[in-house]
Amino acid sequence: MRNLVPAMRIGMLTVSVLPLWLAVALVLWWAYDFGAFIRGGAYTRQSAIAGVSEFAVILSVVVGVVWAVSIIRKESCDLPIWRIAWEVFWRTGLALFLYADIILARRYTWSQSRGENDWAMFFGRVNAEFFAEARPLSFFLEVLPAASLISALLFLVQTMCVRRFARIPSKAPVLSE
């Protein structure tokens, strides 16, 4: 059964990406108050949904990397549940902080001579929507902690499910030769 644990962990990670994306998208919608922007005419509903969806994908990929690293390091196999949640929480927060820091550093050191085609501008339009003007405050004060908590909770559910299924003995008959 131990041989199935890595496959179960990968399967749980894959299944958890959709709820992660949806939860992060809802947090983004709430934190950046897109309803008010739509009512004010700054965005159409479709463009707001598209922007939130795209940025939620980017953040979900960052969180997915944190999860994958946690699985590869096999830390979550034997640690207490509260410790797993804490590890994933702070690592997610750090990863999101570094992502935002890179984007903001790129934004504030950009010049016309550098052009728009460097690696930090790969998601330029999406990053510009969420890191323009005072919006980094919404990211750091609302999105980052909420996304870190969501990440920790979903990873905890993954771990608990894998632990539960790994302990269930197979009821299939054993064929003797």
Over residues 109-136, the mean pLDDT reads: 72
How long is the chain? 177
Whether pLDDT at 171 is above 50: yes
Burial 83-99 (b: 16+ CB within 10 A, else e): ebbebbbebbbebbeeb
Q: Are 34 and 52 in contact (CB under 8 A)?
A: yes
* pLDDT for the residue numbered 76: 60
- pTM listed for this prediction: 0.84
Range picked from 112-116, 134-138, 140-144, 159-163 for highest mean pLDDT = 140-144
Are the beta carbons of 159 and 84 closer than 8 angstroms? Answer: yes
**Token digits of residue 81:** 């549940």
Q: Is 90 exceeded by the pLDDT of residue 141?
A: yes
The Cα–Cα gap between 73 and 5 comes to 14
Give the pLDDT score at 173: 54
Position 13 confidence tier, pLDDT thresholds 50, 70, 90: confident
Judged against a pLDDT cut of 90, whether residue 177 lies above it is answered with no
Residue range 119-144: average pLDDT?
Answer: 82
- Identify which of 171, 173, 161, 120 has the alpha carbon closest to the alpha carbon of residue 7: 161
pLDDT at 57 over 90: yes
